Amino acid sequence: MIEYDKDAIVPPYITEYLRAKTVHNDEFMHLLEKYAEENSVPIVEPETARFLSVMCRTVKPKKILEVGCAIGYSSILMAQATGDDCEIATLECNEDMVRIARENIKTSGYAEKISVIEADAKDYLSYIDDDEVFDMIFLDGPKAHYIYMLDECVRLLKKGGVLISDNVLYKGMTADDNHVVRRKITIVKRLRKYIDMLMEHKELETSLLPLGDGVTISVKK
């Protein structure tokens, strides 16, 4: 039986059911999941991982930008779910994570498909040329920085492209003041503002989903 946070945004019995239905048999990905758990490295929740994989197979992107690589788990997941002609650029500012991610990606066999860029996304995005548009952007970096990256993400997203943002409900704190931990107030306020920005954005149509730790999916009109 999996232990769940008492403040989980989805009732534990539902989460348990969802995760029982999203079991996979990829041994290497299991190794990455085990490493992440043992070393407290945040990776996408199992049900969010399946959602991301399905979206990749649905959108069939040729170019993906990921903000927040960590150990390379979601990059590899997206590489598995896309064609050989898809290019994935993933940004990570932590030097140790960059090294580990590159090793994992090489082991996975997707080194020619995935480029790990050591950079602070909040600054780096503004240097990407307007012609470098992406079919999909997966935003999974520092949550407090989402509000500062949205304009650049929209600029870099092609029309009809998809922006997926993870952890937007942040253990329920975004939705309910009673769940807010004092030391997380700034992050929560910025996530609330980010969701408002998405919902009110003239160039986007957005759906907010109580999946994993909260996911938004936005389409550029």
Residue 175, phi-psi category: left (phi > 0), alpha (psi -120 to 50), beta (remainder): alpha
Can you read off the two tokens belonging to residue 22?
């999203």
Q: How far apart, in whole angstroms, are the C-alpha atoms of residue 212 and residue 168?
A: 10
* Length of the chain measured in residues: 221
For residue 189, the Cα-to-chain-centroid distance in whole angstroms is 20
pTM, two decimals, is 0.94
Give the pLDDT score at 6.
54
* Residue 185 pLDDT exceeds 70: yes
Per-residue model confidence as pLDDT tens digits over 128-174: 998 899 999 999 999 999 999 999 999 999 999 999 999 999 988 99
- pLDDT tens-place string over residues 111-133: 999 999 999 999 999 999 988 99
Return the pLDDT at 19: 87
